[in-house]
Amino acid sequence: LRWSEHEVLVSGAEGEAVVQVNGLPSELAALAAVVRQQAEQLGIGSRMVSAAGLGMHTLILAPAEPERQARLLAGIREYAYRAGSSVVLRRRPEALDAHVDVMGTPPSTVDLLRRIKHEFDPDSRLAPGRFAGWY
């Protein structure tokens, strides 16, 4: 598989939400089962592209009503956070913003991140609002 082919697989299309979950490789099977079960319950198609050895999983959620996509994302986040994984919402339909906290739960290192950001960007010129809610 070439990187260009991989990029196509993990980019998502119009209306799809792309969620990256990073965690232990040993959690892949459980994560896949949770996503499959919750997506089926909500009637949302989904697919997963994984670099299993690295614990990097990209979930692509099919277009659906924003409320249903938000419920699925909440379930994925809940499972991932309990498993000690991180979740990044990489792409989403604009309508989803009204139903989810795009950044999710701040990491335990958020104070350190704020100090580093302030050290390198004391006037907050770089990517203003990019991490709104965290800093």
Token pair 């959690």 is found at 27
C-alpha 94/C-alpha 66 separation (Å) is 9
Tokens of 123: 């006037």
C-alpha 106/C-alpha 93 separation (Å) is 22
Are 28 and 50 within 8 A, CB to CB? yes
What is the residue type of 61?
L
Predicted model pTM: 0.79
User: What tens-digit pLDDT sequence spans the chain (135 residues)?
Assistant: 788 888 888 888 899 999 998 888 888 888 889 989 999 999 999 999 988 888 889 999 999 999 999 999 999 999 998 888 888 888 999 999 889 888 888 878 889 999 999 999 999 898 887 777 777
Residues sharing a CB contact under 8 Å with residue 118, sequence separation 6 or more, in sequence order = none
